[in-house]
Amino acid sequence: MNDWERILRDADRAGVRLAVAPEAAEAVRGDAVLFDAVQVPVVALSVVACIAGRRAGEPVHSLGARVGHTLMAAFPTFSRLGRYLQWSLRVRTVTADAIAFLEQSGLIVIAADEDRRTLLTDRGRDFVQQVRGSGDAGPLLLLLASAAARTRNQDLRLL
């Protein structure tokens, strides 16, 4: 079993539905895999992973790129497709939806400062601790958090 199959299996156990077509990633044309795999639940968990690892919060304007890098690092199939998720309009749109969902859920708050930093609320920190301790989504959150931690600010700038 390869890493991608293990991740999909773990996501299924965690209740996260990644609607990736059964064809091999190399056979998928264009952005079809992006529209299938980049969904609000996975992106919301990626946003939480990105924010949780940064004590000072994460500026809203850089979250789309950081989430794209995180997904590429966590799911190597995206890199093999030759797409750069950090620049994907789909990832940025879904990231905005995920931020709105997390804010409405009371898990994050967006500061009114100039950078509009996203921060975990007390409820959000409790959520992270609960998920980390669970056997369901815990491994997926740890995978995403590890990928987010490897993303440097230099990776987020446009070349």
Q: Is residue 158 part of a domain?
A: no
The two most distant CA atoms of the chain are separated, in Å, by 47
Q: Is residue 159 part of a domain?
A: no
Would you say residue 8 has pLDDT above 80?
A: no
Q: What is the pLDDT of residue 156?
A: 57
Q: How many domains does the chain have?
A: 1
- Percent of the chain at pLDDT > 70 equals 72
What is the mean pLDDT of the segment spanning 98-121?
90
pLDDT digits (tens, 9 = 90+) for 40-62: 888 888 899 989 887 778 888 88
Q: Give the range of the structural domain holding residue 47, as residue numbers without chain letter.
A: 3-153
pLDDT digits (tens, 9 = 90+) for 110-136: 998 888 999 999 999 898 888 887 767
Contact 34, 83 (CB under 8 A): yes
- Nearest by Cα to 140 from 70, 92, 87: 70
